[in-house]
Homo-oligomer: A and B are copies of this chain.
């Protein structure tokens, strides 16, 4: 296995205060893997033997209920660590990360985690913060699902997506990876039908512009207003 070039990861904030030599030592133990669109990096329930860093592309982490219903737990963006179940003392992976677009991931064996954090304590802190944020996000989502109607939840989800994966375009901001209505439904706890209806309604008001696996937000402010609950009346 050829070594991974340092330049690929040098810019990541995760490694910001790490020496080149240390970084190289870390990368020496890593392998790189291409994940074609639609394929899974690993499967929910599998024994956790590695942890990962997404270099390029986009992953949707799904969980399946015993009945076979699927939900999207989160979206992994470039630069994010994922699958570090071991750090949380689990020995199996809790979800399945599927490539929404052709992706590139770096894989480390679990044993490296120790030296990973030792060599740069900042990394441990970073990982902690990441998990904290993720917990925070989860609670936000729970709160939204408990108290808000579907339209607001979907609006929030879309806003979050353009924040994390938005790409400026002449007449708005585009979500930068293939995203189906079904995906949005699984992120917000609703159905594909309802999402489709909502997008249609929004499109007729000029707020968004849809397309097959595409979404362009033309008027983020009005979308924000919907998310804030200013949809019908005060």
Contacts and interface: CB of A to CB of B under 8 A. Distances in A.
A63 B87 CA distance: 28
Given A125-B89, A147-B65, A189 B135 contact: no
Contacts of A88: 128-129, 131-133, 135-136
B89 A146 contact: no
A138 interface: yes
Interface residues of A, number: 32
B142 A73 contact: yes
Most buried by B among A88, A95, A131: A88
Given A73-B139, A139-B73, A139-B138, A89 B129 contact: yes
B145 A146 contact: yes
A204 interface: no
A67 interface: yes
Interface of A: 63, 65, 67, 69, 71, 73, 87-90, 94-95, 125, 128-129, 131-136, 138-139, 141-143, 145-147, 186, 189, 229
